[in-house]
Amino acid sequence: MEPIENLAEQWLSTDQDPETRKEIEDLLAIHDEAELEKRLRTRIAFGTAGLRASMKAGYAYMNSLTVLQASQGLATYVLEQQGPSLATGERLSVVVGYDARHNSARFAKLAAGAFVAKGLNVLWFGQLIHTPMVPFAVNHHEAAAGIMVTASHNPKADNGYKVYWKNGCQIIPPHDQGIAKAIDQLEPIISWNEKTVGNSSNVQHIFPEATEAYYTALQIVVPRSTRTATFTYTPMHGVGLPFMQKALDVLGLPNDTMKVVAAQAQPDPEFSTVPFPNPEEKGALDLAYETAAKNDCKVVLANDPDADRFAVAERLDGGEWHQFTGNQMGFLLASYVWETYPHDKGKLAMLASTVSSRMLAAMAIKEGFHFKETLTGFKWLGNVAQDLQAQGYDAAFAYEEAIGYAFTGVVWDKDGIAAAAVFLTAWQRWQKQGLTPWQKLQQLYSSYGYFEDANTYLISPSPEVTGRAFEDIRTSNGTGSPPATIGKRKILRWRDLTIGYDSAGVDGKPDLPTDPTAQMITCELDGVVFTARGSGTEPKIKLYIEATAGSSAEAKRSANEVLQDLLREWFKPEFGLRLAGT
């Protein structure tokens, strides 16, 4: 194995960023080999749609050098895959966007310089945008690819590099492996120039045209409204506010309809009021509730910092706030799509990922539209939706329980602004029916059954620990085979997408793609379905548990019983795993 000092010298011979150079020099000076090993031995993985990590020096983290290496690798792959079809003299284009995080603009400028140096044109926004603008612009401008510099709702120390292919969807196999292989070639850095975007004829500034086209597309999905009730909105220190304001214009709603949380209104990379800027996190909406109380608002809307996710809470008659889960909001939005769909409803398709609720599938069985389950993540939801579109369906809506919703008439990815606009339109419709969003949800439950979840996650010390935990589960029956029961419940179906086995599949083959590098096991019990999976972006094992029953209380009880059984039988304390919130 190559000495760590050699890797450090290799880094210093390449890195031109004085801050990250000093980090490695300081570690060398104090002979901190353990930290150098952590930073330099293993390269940041090109995984879930791209890169995401803390911003530090070293090949394992997000920094100027790893961004440039990723950009050159991506450019090489794009040219190999799409370049041969071009006429002589043409140049492929890549869309580049960034959010308000520390270093996002700088990383985006460096990436743009690398793309131009590799022979690509850059379609440049040049100001803060919400993430869905990148895939939208890829389609609108017929670009070869797009990148967005963002870490979505991660803490302030993180950043990321999200990649879209020419179809406007996040990358999936074989493109992810192909790009990773090109990055690993580690060709010399050919441009370390942040000024390319300001002085190259191969950079086109697209913000005005692209955003106008985006809102034109949104107008097709949401009709103009009459005045609705006021609501409170927070962009969670991110980029969402100007996009939400424009969405109100599209809907025909006055600006005073929206009461903004002042302390969270403007972009703030420090996330000064919410260290973990995810609307799903406990306490994240506390300031929004305070603002709502001052303005007598009964509904709160929230985006995460890059505004691709969307959350809603409603103050109920008893005065308490109910924050809708991602699944509940998925039901509500899907019901609106179904009820207002103007074409042949037999051609309507809606999608949800395998870790999301089965309620959309139940709706499809009763109502007759086409439902499709996909692997986790919008990279799968978007690409599978396009496959359905090619088969003659109108794949109008897709969602995932992690508060992500896609309206494909706008963009083939989750979009917190489009979701907010559709929700406001749906809310107005429900008001005319004498229903609040909460009451509409109860109506849906009475029609399709009560679905309740007990979703949570465990913090894992390392990927190795996660892998050992899942291997132990697979052989925990005492005979080297999977368990037959969970607590008192019999396992009716066992699907393991890591090893490619499905007890209900033809010849044991699963109905979804397998991935030996990702841990995912799904079990069906009587009235309960659960999935355990290792996160692709965080040191977590995520548990998705859903029960269905004749009442909410009964469904909740079953879901929580299975959660406790899993914690006792599968994810034991001796593994070193820690339940969220403990």
d(CA 519, CA 469): 10
d(CA 408, CA 395): 7
DSSP 421: H
Report the SS3 class of residue 358.
coil
Catalytic member of 152, 225, 335, 353: 152
E-only strand ranges, 248-354? 258-260, 299-303, 310-315, 321-323, 348-353
Q: Are 187 and 132 in contact (CB under 8 A)?
A: no
Q: Enumerate the H helices of 203-358 as residue ranges.
A: 207-221, 240-251, 286-294, 326-340
CA atoms within 13 A on the CB side of 299: 19
What tokens were used for 462? 């390392």
552 is catalytic: no
End-to-end Cα spacing for the chain: 39
Q: Max CA-CA distance within the chain?
A: 71
Look at residues 214, 85, 189, 242 and name the one whose alpha carbon lies nearest to residue 137.
214
| CA quadruple 51, 56, 57, 60: dihedral, nearest 10 | -40
Q: In what order do the strands lie in the sheet with 404-407?
A: 370-374, 348-353, 394-400, 404-407
Report the SS3 class of residue 497.
coil
Residues pairing with 170 in the sheet: 164
Which long-range contacts (C-beta less than 8 Å, at least 24 apart) are formed by 373-376? 373/511, 373/512, 374/398, 374/512, 375/497, 375/512, 375/513, 375/515, 376/400, 376/520, 376/533
| Gyration radius (Cα) of the chain, Å | 24
Which residues make Cβ contacts (< 8 Å) with residue 459, sequence separation at least 6? 539, 540, 577, 578, 579, 580
Which residues make Cβ contacts (< 8 Å) with residue 183, sequence separation at least 6? 43, 46, 69, 70, 72, 73, 74
Q: What's phi and psi for 531, nearest 5 deg?
A: -130, 135
Name the burial class of residue 543, with classes exposed (0-12), middle (13-18) and buried (19+) by CB atoms within 10 angstroms of its CB. Answer: buried
Report the SS3 class of residue 215.
helix
Q: Are 12 and 23 in contact (CB under 8 A)?
A: no
Give the active site residues: 152
